[in-house]
Amino acid sequence: NAGVMQNPRHLVRRRGQEARLRCSPMKGHSHVYWYRQLPEEGLKFMVYLQKENIIDESGMPKERFSAEFPKEGPSILRIQQVVRGDSAAYFCASSPGWNEQYFGPGTRLTVT
């Protein structure tokens, strides 16, 4: 019973490049959440998706960030034209409903 999968685990991008983070939810889970964590801080909600739908994107920056969860394949968090302030750990969680959420190992993004 595989848990939530995220890749890559580590990603290095130069300023101005694009970052694509992938998340495969647990089997049977149709709800996906993305969170961002800065060093020594708690996780901050970014976006909540169900298959082909964005349910809540109230935590997403207005520009450069987008997310999708297509009918087939993983959920993607996309950051265009990355800046140093985007450096963080990005975690994906999945849930069978709106309650307990199970987290993946995260993608650590470093912008140089």
Partner 1 sequence: GESVGLHLPTLSVQEGDNSIINCAYSNSASDYFIWYKQESGKGPQFIIDIRSNMDKRQGQRVTVLLNKTVKHLSLQIAATQPGDSAVYFCAENRGNQGGKLIFGQGTELSVKP
List contacts with partner 1 (CB under 8 A).
4, 6, 31, 33, 35, 40-45, 48, 55-56, 58-59, 91, 95, 97-106
Residue 13: both structure tokens together: 């991008």
Backbone angles phi, psi at 12, to 5 degrees: -115, 130
CB nearer partner 1, residue 18 or residue 52 = 52
CB nearer partner 1, residue 17 or residue 37 = 37
Q: Which residue type does 93 have?
A: A
Would you call 58 exposed, middle or buried from its count of C-beta atoms within 10 A (0-12, 13-18, 19+)? Answer: exposed
Shortest gap between Cβ of 19 and partner 1 (angstroms)? 18
Shortest gap between Cβ of 54 and partner 1 (angstroms)? 11
Shortest gap between Cβ of 30 and partner 1 (angstroms)? 11
Residue 54: both structure tokens together: 């964005």
CB nearer partner 1, residue 25 or residue 104 = 104
CA end-to-end span of the chain: 37
Shortest gap between Cβ of 25 and partner 1 (angstroms)? 13
CB nearer partner 1, residue 17 or residue 103 = 103
